[in-house]
Amino acid sequence: MPTSKQIQIMPTVVDPRTSIVPTPQHAPFRKRIAFAIGRILALVMRTRANAIESGTRIRAPHLLDRLIRNGIQAQALQERDHVRLRDIHRNYWSKEALKFGSDYGFRFEEQFLQFDVEMLRVAFKHFDRNNLDSVIELGCGNGKVLEYVSQQIASCEEFIGIDIDPNRIDANKHHYEGQQLEFVTGNALSWLQTHVKPSMMLMTNGGVLEYFLHSEVIEIFELAAQQSNTAIALIETVGSDHDLDKDTQTHPYGREFAFSHNYLHLLKEAGFKIRHFSERRCENGDRWVRIFATH
Ligand SMILES: C[S@@+](CC[C@H](N)C(=O)[O-])C[C@H]1O[C@@H](n2cnc3c(N)ncnc32)[C@H](O)[C@@H]1O
């Protein structure tokens, strides 16, 4: 069981930039205006709206494109259509992860190494005493975190990074050539359905499961729970006002309407034991949760 030192529950702080947005009416005033304009534009400019929604029009988005995207998301929020919101995220990431890695590559040094690695140190200690055959990073992006982890767990031989953007994975294969790391293009859940195995740690960094549906996160945790000796390490963001003590639901939240999941609850439901839980809040309103759990 976790020690009280490892658990810091932070007071709930509502930051409008990263709070839960169950319907368009819950969005901040300026966002509601953008929604209204975007919905009209999406109706009038249907071809452009379809291209934005399917991810074929992402590069150098014009203000008009951003407004239309807002309009489409507002419609999905209004209809509580989480599958449509998920698809918008998935179409976006399948084209944009490579660019994200170059724009936000600094997060490895400035966030992961400075703050979030403390959660993984609990995991590294755990694997000093417990066997581990493979580490699977879902949504591995530029592979820096997977490379770091591979240098810390000497006893493990398999390190696999999965990402939905084929260009991201090609770049990783080239960059890490000759290293012990393997990179695979695909939807993380589909990959897991056929590759899950015992003595494996699943991990995410930088916000990955927030682009998956509630039911998909449950399925990922259950797939891991069906195997012996599995662990899960998560570095994810959640809504600034998500009450993790009481609210077990999933809600769209923040600027991009990703999903705020109650990971603690979902992991416990799948039978995982929480070994570390901590939170970190940033000036920009982001609320990071760091969790290490074993089964
Ligand atoms: C916010 S980025 C984080 C990237 C990386 N983990 C980091 O810390 O820099 C989210 C990553 O998840 C990937 N992703 C999103 N949905 C995915 C899915 N369904 N299957 C696999 N990867 C996915 C994206 O392509 C992207 O690389």
Query: What is the Å distance from ligand 1's center to 208 Cα?
Result: 5
Question: At 162, which amino acid appears?
Answer: I
Reported as a single tens digit per residue, the pLDDT across 17-68 is 888 988 888 888 888 898 999 999 999 999 989 988 887 766 656 888 889 9
Cβ of residue 205 lying under 6 Å from some atom of ligand 1: yes
Cβ of residue 252 lying under 6 Å from some atom of ligand 1: no
Cβ of residue 111 lying under 6 Å from some atom of ligand 1: no
Instruction: Provide the pLDDT for residue 145.
Output: 97
Cβ of residue 141 lying under 6 Å from some atom of ligand 1: yes
Q: Whose CA is nearest to atom 10 of ligand 1?
A: 208
The answer to whether 146 touches 140, Cβ cutoff 8 Å, is yes
Cβ of residue 90 lying under 6 Å from some atom of ligand 1: yes
- Would the pLDDT of 1 be above 50? no
Extended beta strands in the chain, E state: 134-138, 158-163, 181-185, 200-204, 231-237, 251-253, 258-260, 273-281, 287-294
Cβ of residue 146 lying under 6 Å from some atom of ligand 1: no
- Would the pLDDT of 106 be above 60? yes
Reported as a single tens digit per residue, the pLDDT across 192-206 is 999 999 999 999 999
pLDDT confidence tier of residue 10, bands split at 50, 70 and 90: low
- Tell me how crowded residue 66 is: count the other CB atoms within 10 A of its CB: 13
- Would the pLDDT of 3 be above 60? no
Site to probe by mutation for ligand 1, drawn from 90, 93, 115 as the one with most ligand atoms within 8 Å of Cβ, is 93
Strands 134-138 and 200-204 turn out to be parallel
Instruction: Provide the pLDDT for residue 277.
Output: 96
pLDDT higher at 147 or 8: 147
pTM exceeding the 0.85 threshold for the entire prediction: yes
CATH level 3 topology of 4-10+104-294: Rossmann fold (3.40.50)
Instruction: Provide the pLDDT for residue 30.
Output: 85
pLDDT confidence tier of residue 16, bands split at 50, 70 and 90: confident
Reported as a single tens digit per residue, the pLDDT across 220-234 is 999 999 999 999 999
Cβ of residue 259 lying under 6 Å from some atom of ligand 1: no
**Mean per-residue pLDDT over the chain, rounded:** 91
